[in-house]
Structure 1
Amino acid sequence: MRIENYLARISYTDLHQLSLPSLFKLHQFHVYNIPFECLDIHLGIPIELNVESIYKKVVNYFRGGFCYELNTLFNWLLNQLGYEANIISAQIINNHEPGPEYDHMAIWVKLESDWLLDVGYGDLFINPIEIKPDVVQHDGANYFMIKQLENNRYSLLMSATGTNFKERYVFSLSEVAIEKFESQSQLKQTSEDSHFVKNLICTKPTENGRKTIFNDKFLQRNNGERHISTFESESDLVKCLREEFGIDIKKYQQRLEEMFHFSF
């Protein structure tokens, strides 16, 4: 695994220095260039939580991934570059209640202060968020705030306007071994109740908005305007993935046609 190939994958061409501005750029470039996606679940390809497999998929094969993959890989990169980065567990809020432990993976970086990083949520922050309770932070698109729940437990809230905040997940600042996430990763790949089994998703932000594949729809937000188009066939989906996200799954198209559970 080569650091320079990973940096090229995220279009990071700066001469890297161990600094807060560099950490911000790494996070920005990662979310702009590597999409959140759960295609393998619909292609019947098992997702393995080890750095070598994820590196090959994301860097060599120009794919994306979901939280366990992308944050595992980014955490590895940060440590290779000299940052004090740790994997942490988070619990996604659904119906005002947190999910199970290891429901989500995020990253805690200690650099001048404590920072929350997350390149594997889907639609979240572009820049790292300082773990500084009750301070509103803006990433250029949305507003975020951290609430302290207990000594080592926090809540992340998000708002489009800076006034009405919605809780996204709760997290603890305790390093967690990647193996701890294996059970939840398997459930998200196989359970009929899994959001990722029910829905095919591929998304990444752009400088002016976001583009997203959600089942048989392609959604684009650009400077506040929204456009939605519907795929008429699996071929349209494959073409959109290639042209809009740089993901080539043409060799899996027949498998997708056999497994795809949406009516075109």
Structure 2
Amino acid sequence: MPRMSEPSIDLDAYFRRIGYTGPREPTLATLNGLILRHVQTIPFENLDVLLGRGISLDPAAIERKLIHERRGGYCFEQNGLFQLVLQALGFDVTPISARARWQRPRDFTPPRTHLFSRVEIDGASWLADVGVGGMSPSYALRLELDTEQPTPHEPRRLIKEGAIYYHQVRLGGEWQDICEFTLETMPMIDREVANWFTSTHPKSHFKSNILVARAGPDGGRVTLLDNRLILRDGRGQANIRLLTSKQELLAVLAEHFGVQLPADAQFHLPGAAWLL
């Protein structure tokens, strides 16, 4: 694998990218302010996988793509960037590995291909995850079990069964799993291996689906799943629109997610006749 560049981040460019003008001290208020602006501005997206471009975890490449090229990315890019930001601001940050469980039954074991952050503030541990797709929490979650925790979007909680923690979201009165973890750290070599699987393995769901998501204002969310654009308000009411052409897809990416792709972009998505 190529040698990575030394980690660094242009904080001013990042703050302009997400429209953040708040304090920069390493406090909980700063952490929450950054998370909220990040998930509302930088979309979760796997488009480069489907465009055959590959996903680089080099810090300079992530900064260029998500900040300067105004694109989005998936967990290794999103949370990798966010960790660089937090470290530059003086936060005590640890990368944590997890298994994404959103809309997956408990009897299914997903690969350990998710990354988020553990942040220590004034003797308390907080979990920050700006890269878990359409369910990215918009505030940090305190590492505290069996307590409903409010966010600007959906309520969250952490539970533990045996040695495994579960991050859950409450939707319509029902708690649903987002991811599971053991608080094991995820060094860069593990991220490289997981990123290779996620972006290249034929059975990776990122190879067979368009996934783009962004948190909206007032508790709402905007999600694109293949040709289904879902606009959900803060009460959970959804408006669904079906896309019928690549031109319509490119227009939606620009309008709702700020992602500009060329008209001749070629998506490698088996069975998606509507893209032809």
TM-score by length of 1: 0.91
Task: Tell me which of 127, 131, 145 is aligned to 1:120.
Answer: 131
1:218 maps to 2:226: no
SS of the residue corresponding to residue 167 of structure 1 reads: strand
SS of the residue corresponding to residue 168 of structure 1 reads: strand
Q: Which runs of 5+ in 2 are unaligned?
A: 1-8
How large is the RMSD of aligned CA atoms in angstroms? 1.8
Equivalent-residue separation in structure 1 for 2:121 and 2:19 (angstroms): 23
> How far does residue 99 in structure 1 lie from its aligned partner after superposition?
3.7
Q: Which runs of 5+ in 1 are unaligned?
A: none
Specify the code of the residue in structure 1 equivalent to 2:58.
N
2:95 touches 2:118 (CA, 8 Å); kept in 1?
A: yes
1:106 maps to 2:147: no
1:90 touches 1:172 (CA, 8 Å); kept in 2?
A: yes
1:91 touches 1:98 (CA, 8 Å); kept in 2?
A: no
1:141 touches 1:160 (CA, 8 Å); kept in 2?
A: no
Equivalent-residue separation in structure 1 for 2:116 and 2:93 (angstroms): 10
Alignment partner, residue 90 of structure 1: 98
Of 36-45 and 240-249, more deviation after overlay is shown by: 240-249
SS of the residue corresponding to residue 264 of structure 2 reads: helix
Q: Which is richer in strand? A: 1
1:91 touches 1:100 (CA, 8 Å); kept in 2?
A: yes
Which residues in structure 2 correspond to 1:218-257 (within 5 Å)? 218-224=229-235, 225-250=237-262, 253-256=263-266
SS of the residue corresponding to residue 273 of structure 2 reads: coil
SS of the residue corresponding to residue 256 of structure 1 reads: coil
Alignment partner, residue 146 of structure 1: 158
CA 1:124/1:106 → structure 2, altered by over 3 Å: closer, same or farther?
same
SS of the residue corresponding to residue 19 of structure 2 reads: coil
> How far does residue 50 in structure 1 lie from its aligned partner after superposition?
1.7
1:92 touches 1:98 (CA, 8 Å); kept in 2?
A: no
CA 1:111/1:150 → structure 2, altered by over 3 Å: closer, same or farther?
farther
Which residues in structure 2 correspond to 1:53-202 (within 5 Å)? 53-93=61-101, 94-97=104-107, 99=109, 102-112=112-122, 113-122=124-133, 123-149=135-161, 153-161=164-172, 163-202=173-212
> How far does residue 143 in structure 1 lie from its aligned partner after superposition?
1.9
